[in-house]
Amino acid sequence: MKSTLRVIAAALVLSMIIIGCKKKEEQPVPKAPAQSPTSMPMQDPMQKPMPPHGDMGPKIEKKIMVPESVKKAWSKVKFILEDKASKKSSEFTVNTGSEFKIPNTNLKIVVGEFLPDFRMDESVITSASDAPNNPAVRVEVFENGKSIFKGWLYSKFPTIHPFEHAKYGLALKEGIKG
């Protein structure tokens, strides 16, 4: 009989321990007080919004390095100009390192470096080879003497940083050896 009472007592103690643990688990976790819209900090409307990935620090100008083999092999580029109103396109060939006034427009293009295999890292823009794997040209476009676009045009990826204008489309068709 004593052993039966010990088993019952042990079972009671064990069940109380289990019930006690469950009660601790079931207790609600205290919630942080909700902030009302009036208690939330306001952003100064004159302050610039933070970039989506935080402050990236000062912009570092990348050095453009054109390999000698590229300079010797590639001397011209061919552009396509689209007149958006008439839906007509025209092509024109321009020497690298020169200016070109586009006929019948108020646009002038200053053509910079051509890189047949455009590559860029943290500090350098260059061409990985002489092959036209990723052709790009650096241009600056002026309208009535005012700079309206400055950047790279890519022939295989024309929608990356495209030239945007209400009346005209401008794209790099290809580089020309010679």
Contacts of 141 (CB under 8 A, 6+ apart): 107, 108, 109, 110, 147, 148, 149, 150, 163, 170
What residues pair up with 83 in beta bridges, in sequence order? 88, 168
Sequence ranges of the domains in the chain: 63-177
**H-assigned helices in 27-110:** 68-73
3-state secondary structure of 113: strand
Per-residue pLDDT tens over the stretch 93-151: 999 999 999 999 999 999 999 999 999 999 999 999 999 999 999 999 999 999 999 99
Q: What is the pTM of this model?
A: 0.67
3-state secondary structure of 46: coil
